[in-house]
Amino acid sequence: MSENTTLDQRFAHGLEVLRMVDGEAGQRVVDSLADISPELGNQIVSWAFGEIYSRPGLAPRDRQLVTLGMLTALGGCEAQLDVHVNAALNVGLTPEQIVEALLHSAVYCGIPKALNATFVAKKVFTERGLLPLGPQPTPASATSA
Amino acid sequence: MSENTTLDQRFAHGLEVLRMVDGEAGQRVVDSLADISPELGNQIVSWAFGEIYSRPGLAPRDRQLVTLGMLTALGGCEAQLDVHVNAALNVGLTPEQIVEALLHSAVYCGIPKALNATFVAKKVFTERGLLPLGPQPTPASATSA
Amino acid sequence: MSENTTLDQRFAHGLEVLRMVDGEAGQRVVDSLADISPELGNQIVSWAFGEIYSRPGLAPRDRQLVTLGMLTALGGCEAQLDVHVNAALNVGLTPEQIVEALLHSAVYCGIPKALNATFVAKKVFTERGLLPLGPQPTPASATSA
Amino acid sequence: MSENTTLDQRFAHGLEVLRMVDGEAGQRVVDSLADISPELGNQIVSWAFGEIYSRPGLAPRDRQLVTLGMLTALGGCEAQLDVHVNAALNVGLTPEQIVEALLHSAVYCGIPKALNATFVAKKVFTERGLLPLGPQPTPASATSA
Amino acid sequence: MSENTTLDQRFAHGLEVLRMVDGEAGQRVVDSLADISPELGNQIVSWAFGEIYSRPGLAPRDRQLVTLGMLTALGGCEAQLDVHVNAALNVGLTPEQIVEALLHSAVYCGIPKALNATFVAKKVFTERGLLPLGPQPTPASATSA
Amino acid sequence: MSENTTLDQRFAHGLEVLRMVDGEAGQRVVDSLADISPELGNQIVSWAFGEIYSRPGLAPRDRQLVTLGMLTALGGCEAQLDVHVNAALNVGLTPEQIVEALLHSAVYCGIPKALNATFVAKKVFTERGLLPLGPQPTPASATSA
């Protein structure tokens, strides 16, 4: 029998994954729900992280690439983008890859949502002392210009 | 001076990238625009693929992970998801990784959009003879159950 | 110790709630996931219905009112609206209340999304032999006109 | 002939309904439109409240359940959610039912929008001295754990 | 006293505007609501067209430009876009201006939604025998190429 | 050969169009991207303004009408709406026409998004000393009331 099938065990396992991915920011979100909707906090930990994030079929960095795309496209999720730009760095994406993913989002979501997401990344990178980024690689067509 | 800075050269370069990523499906979209908005077709090729996709800062498979996330979140983009589930396979994502990315989307976009995207994947995988998928890995917490 | 804390027990409990709310339509959605993403089907049953829907803090009819509002607002979720217009009828909302909720949605989501949702309701009501609806009550201000 | 068919009469009737549902917050929104778009304020009062809200086919509390679902799903409507979490309390929904409806929204809209809406509820409940909420009922499957 | 302040008069006036803008397509939408939500049909005629569309502050062609932008951005509103591409032609926008507006939408909504809207325009233009469009003007920077 | 086909020339041309339409606000957005995603700034200038905006097929004022519609419908794009309400004034739309376009948006996007956009316009008009607006024309049906 699994050691994680009771509610307490699923919560404990999810909390471990949450801390690895989102760091303290994830814990703060869960804490801020304690007096209003502890069950939503519980579901974030037990379900989102304990059951979905912990599945081995997709690497943590790949999950954050999908997540950055979704949060950029949804719009109005700047608070969650803040957590997940941090998470993306935590699981090994470089600042340059994150910026490139958000540039890529302009093609599918349009310039305004790409801008909103990029300004969240700017805030996070500033807080973590990562700016300015070094020169970014440009397409073959441009480098020879 | 770059060989790709004239409009014709940018188009030619973009077409090459489009074909590598989207395959024939991308070409069909561009062709179907010929009698109504050839300029939109031109921008897809020259700008989206010639300028953004061709940048080296993010691997093609990573671009498709971000793209799957965005198209799932936007909603109502089933036709584009069809092209990009194919594209994801073309650039090296496995069917299992695609399915896992769409399961992950349930956390951020909700069940209905995850379902819509998964049924597009089912259609594409069926067309390519990839179903049924083999048993998928489950979390450590479950495998020991 | 709870009888529903193992994965199998949570699934069994969720399936019972799913059948009560969504009827056969819910089962068909889960079945259609079997060869592509059985885990998404499992999460719909075990998590959405087994953990969220089964909480006693909000009556089933109230959950469907919230759900109709969300699916109408999201857009592009006609397949899910079909299931949940049926679900709304299954848990005791009248056709007239459903139509009124969708009219109400015009205020918050605009006319196009209210129309899309209303035409889904028309399809479901037709399938269940509920049309035409009888005369609907009108505001005090109008009844005296 | 109806006493509410002239524009002035429809406005007067709508204002009464607006005050009952939204309280002072609704009036403040209308007032803040006076120097820029008085007609939008007029339509909110005369049309949204005078014609739609005042229809007897759906109870005020049921309208707020649908409205909470829509505003959560739309995203970026935190100002309106603030008004309508207050409205929900004004027409008889309990804080616990509102929180449960927003937890339910995680299934259909995803965790980020459920969080955004829940934090608006937290702000409103704090302003009205309603926090912390008492222990919330849990599913049968959990209570016996 | 206005001749349009009774409900019947507002409806009659709105119907006239609806027919001028949307033509038969608008009437068909209203007719199709008769057995499910006649009040939604009534509000489309009396409110949307009788009160908002009939205001003189914005020309009919300008209203359709705004409307094309909104329907493209919302997504999932292809049925309404069909009506309003027709409406745009009815009130004097040329096919070339419509196509250009939808190309412009790629900047703000991204390529997928621009494609979805352009394919609706292609369907409408085909039905009205307007394809292929003649050569479209290109930017000064390109014409001299 | 075009004088604008090299990357530098396209940028220079786009900057000219950006300044004409968006004024200093557009330049500030591009500047704020310099240390995080200069390429996104470059694409806004070279592509959005240099290639799309500069096309002669749609008048600048018409492009802003479409843009106001899209940004209102997308939601969560208040920062971009601020720039484009200014842009709309810069290219010749009157404050009254902008307000009327946003009132019109209530029909298609619902009241909350119409409110969000109108409050952005209020902020911009206040900054430019344009408030209060003079009395706005009302429909024929109302003026005789």
The predicted-structure confidence for A32-67, as pLDDT tens digits, reads as follows: 999 999 999 999 999 999 999 999 999 999 999 999
Residue D107 touches partner C, C-beta closer than 8 Å: yes
The pLDDT assigned to B112 comes to 98
Rounded mean pLDDT, B78-88:
98
The pLDDT assigned to D4 comes to 62
Taking Cα atoms as reference points, which of E53, E136, E142 lies closest to residue E97? Answer: E136
Cα separation, F109 vs D74, in Å, equals: 10
Instruction: Judge whether residue E134 has pLDDT over 80.
Output: no
The list of chain D residues with pLDDT below 70 reads 1-5, 135-145
Determine the residue type at B118.
Answer: T
Instruction: Judge whether residue E123 has pLDDT over 50.
Output: yes
Q: Are E75 and B75 a contacting pair at CB < 8 A?
A: yes
The predicted-structure confidence for A65-76, as pLDDT tens digits, reads as follows: 999 999 999 999
In contact, D24 and D32? CB cutoff 8 Å: no
The pLDDT assigned to B11 comes to 92
Tokens representing D68 are 């909470």
Q: At what angle do helices B60-74 and B78-90 cross, to 10 degrees?
A: 160
Tokens representing A141 are 């067509």
Beta strands in chain E (DSSP E): none
In contact, F99 and D36? CB cutoff 8 Å: yes
Cα separation, A95 vs F36, in Å, equals: 9
Instruction: Judge whether residue F116 has pLDDT over 50.
Output: yes
The pLDDT assigned to B9 comes to 87
The predicted-structure confidence for D42-73, as pLDDT tens digits, reads as follows: 999 999 999 999 999 999 999 999 999 999 99
CB-nearest to B5 from F6, F51, F52 is: F6
The pLDDT assigned to F136 comes to 61
Q: Are E65 and F65 a contacting pair at CB < 8 A?
A: yes
Cα separation, C97 vs A63, in Å, equals: 41
Instruction: Judge whether residue B144 has pLDDT over 60.
Output: no
Query: 40-69 in A: which are within 8 Å (CB) of D?
Result: 40, 43-44, 48
Q: Which residues of B touch F6 (CB under 8 A)?
A: 1-2, 5
The separation between CA E78 and the C-alpha centre of its own chain, rounded to angstroms, equals: 11
The pLDDT assigned to E141 comes to 43
Q: How many CB atoms lie within 10 A of CB F51?
A: 27
Instruction: Judge whether residue B7 has pLDDT over 90.
Output: no
The pLDDT assigned to C129 comes to 97
The pLDDT assigned to F9 comes to 87
Give E54 to chain B, closest Cα distance, Å.
31
Q: Where are the domains of chain C?
A: 1-55, 58-129
The pLDDT assigned to A7 comes to 78
The predicted-structure confidence for F101-110, as pLDDT tens digits, reads as follows: 999 999 999 9
The pLDDT assigned to D8 comes to 84
pLDDT averaged over every residue in chain F: 91
* E37, E46, E68, best to mutate vs chain C, most C CBs in 10 Å: E37
Burial of B122-143, coded b for 16+ CB within 10 Å and e otherwise, reads bebbeeeebeebeebebbebbe
Alpha helix positions (H), chain F: 7-22, 24-32, 38-43, 60-74, 78-90, 95-109, 111-127, 140-143
Tokens representing B8 are 């014709």
Give B107 to chain D, closest Cα distance, Å.
5
pLDDT averaged over every residue in chain A: 91
Q: Are E7 and D2 a contacting pair at CB < 8 A?
A: yes
**Complex ipTM:** 0.91
Rounded mean pLDDT, A12-21:
95
Give the range among E73-77, E136-140, F114-118 with minimum mean pLDDT. Answer: E136-140
Q: Which residues of E touch B76 (CB under 8 A)?
A: 75-76, 113, 116
Averaged over successive runs of 10 residues, the pLDDT of chain C (145 residues) comes to: 68 95 94 97 97 96 98 98 98 98 98 98 98 70 38
Rounded mean pLDDT, E71-100:
98
The pLDDT assigned to A1 comes to 36
Cα separation, F72 vs A37, in Å, equals: 31
Q: Is F64 helix (H, G, I), strand (E, B) or coil?
A: helix
Burial class of residue B65 in the structure, from the number of CB atoms within 10 Å of its CB (0-12 exposed, 13-18 middle, 19+ buried): buried
In contact, B47 and F42? CB cutoff 8 Å: no
End-to-end CA distance of chain D: 63
Residue F119 touches partner D, C-beta closer than 8 Å: yes
Residue D12 touches partner E, C-beta closer than 8 Å: no
User: ∠A123-A125-A126 over CA atoms, to 5°?
Assistant: 65
Alpha helix positions (H), chain C: 7-22, 24-32, 38-43, 60-74, 78-90, 95-109, 111-127, 140-143
Residue E16 touches partner D, C-beta closer than 8 Å: no
Torsion from C-alpha of A119, A121, A125, A127, nearest 10 degrees: 70
C-F CB pairs within 8 A amount to: 18
Instruction: Give chain A as a DSSP string.
Output: --TT-SHHHHHHHHHHHHHHHHTHHHHHHHHHTTTT-HHHHHHIIIIIIIIIIT-TTS-HHHHHHHHHHHHHHH-S-HHHHHHHHHHHHHTT--HHHHHHHHHHHHHHH-HHHHHHHHHHHHHHHHHTT-PSPPPPP--HHHHT-
Residue F5 touches partner A, C-beta closer than 8 Å: no
The predicted-structure confidence for A109-131, as pLDDT tens digits, reads as follows: 999 999 999 999 999 999 999 99
Chain B, nearest residue to D105 by Cα: B110
Q: Which chains border E (3 or more CB–CB pairs < 8 Å)?
A: A, B, C, D, F
Domain D58-129 maps to which CATH number in 3.20.20.60, 1.25.60.10, 1.20.1290.10, 1.10.287.110?
Answer: 1.20.1290.10
Q: Which residues of F touch B51 (CB under 8 A)?
A: 43, 47
Q: How many CB atoms lie within 10 A of CB C92?
A: 11
Instruction: Judge whether residue B140 has pLDDT over 50.
Output: no
E6 band by pLDDT with thresholds 50, 70 and 90? confident
User: Which residues touch B45 (CB under 8 Å, ≥6 apart)?
Assistant: B11, B14, B15, B18, B30
Question: B46 or D141: whose pLDDT is higher?
Answer: B46
Q: Are A110 and E112 a contacting pair at CB < 8 A?
A: no
pLDDT averaged over every residue in chain B: 91
Rounded mean pLDDT, E75-88:
98
The pLDDT assigned to B6 comes to 79
Cα separation, C122 vs B107, in Å, equals: 31
**Could you tell me the sign of the dihedral formed by the alpha carbons of E132, E137, E138, E143, in that order?**
positive
Instruction: Judge whether residue A102 has pLDDT over 80.
Output: yes
The pLDDT assigned to A145 comes to 33
Chain B, nearest residue to F51 by Cα: B43
Residue F74 touches partner A, C-beta closer than 8 Å: yes
